[in-house]
Amino acid sequence: MYSRESSEKKISWVISRDNNSFLNYFDRWKNGWETAFNRNLSDSVLNRYFLDAPLGSPIVILGINKDIVVASSTLVPLSLKDPNSSEVINYLQYIAAYILPRYSDGFGTYKEMIKLVKSEIIGTRYRFIVSFPNENAKNLMTRIGGFNLIDLGFFVRGKMESKIINRLNSELYRPFFDEDLLRWRIRDGIFHEAGIIFKIFEGEKNLLDVTSNSHRKEFDGLMPWWTSWGESPYSPVDNYRLNMCVYSEEKIPSIKRSFLLSDVF
């Protein structure tokens, strides 16, 4: 447990590394989560990321003031498999970060919390931390937290033409989920057919990724594009950007550019 005194608040930091420990704080953490995000926490999200994560219990960092969880960050253990060497690359996905109003202490609370987050890869099997923050969180994460913004993803609309096919196929040679984790990621409402993974949103197909260079090429609808791929053949459909941020103490592996790495789609 770690503590910080300020003129108005005292925050004690607790790190939960297993479900038994997390359940001791669960109700208080859930109240903080629902207050911060202004919505109910669904059972599907709770089970997927917090109670039944695929590679073991998440690491939940809890900031507590007067028996109330006022700040929290969660790190979910995941892994990638290199398709060339079959090396397994362990990493942490950073999700569900919040600080309740009146407890920010300027940037003081965030600085302490992000320091604890980053310490979780020091001397461990985890190679890096990946996160997909919104615009406000991205600025904090990169300017104060020391994360690197390594790419921006967005959707374009059109037919799958040669430039898109080549870019999608080139990503198949980078580390990505193995078959078990891919099945975990493809939840209800997402379909995997003929080498493509897509969802239906407002009656339109949204391509999320391809899993084989022999995938079906007749796709027509929304498709992903990443700024690292160069100029897109189509204009972005809107201003939304998927911010891919990574923190590592060593060289960052050549991670596959995939919307499926994110928890926000």
Separation between Cα atoms, residue 117 and residue 128, nearest integer Å: 11
Which has the higher per-residue pLDDT, 152 or 136?
152
Separation between Cα atoms, residue 225 and residue 208, nearest integer Å: 10
Asked if residue 167 and residue 118 are part of one domain, the reply reads: no
Give pLDDT tens digits for 36-62. 999 999 999 999 999 999 999 999 999
197 token code pair? 């993974």
- What's the pLDDT score for residue 3? 52
User: H helices within the chain, ranges in order?
Assistant: 19-37, 43-45, 108-119, 135-143, 162-170, 179-185
Asked if residue 105 and residue 7 are part of one domain, the reply reads: yes
Residue 104 lies in a domain: yes
Asked if residue 111 and residue 20 are part of one domain, the reply reads: yes
Residue 9 lies in a domain: yes
Question: What's this model's pTM, rounded to 2 decimal places?
Answer: 0.94
Q: For the domain that residue 105 is a member of, what is the CATH number? A: 3.40.630.30
Asked if residue 112 and residue 18 are part of one domain, the reply reads: yes
Residue 145 lies in a domain: no
By residue range, what is the domain housing residue 170? 150-257
Residue with tokens 């604890």: 116
- The predicted model gives 203-225 an average pLDDT of 93
Spatial contact of 156 and 233, defined as CB atoms under 8 Å apart:
yes
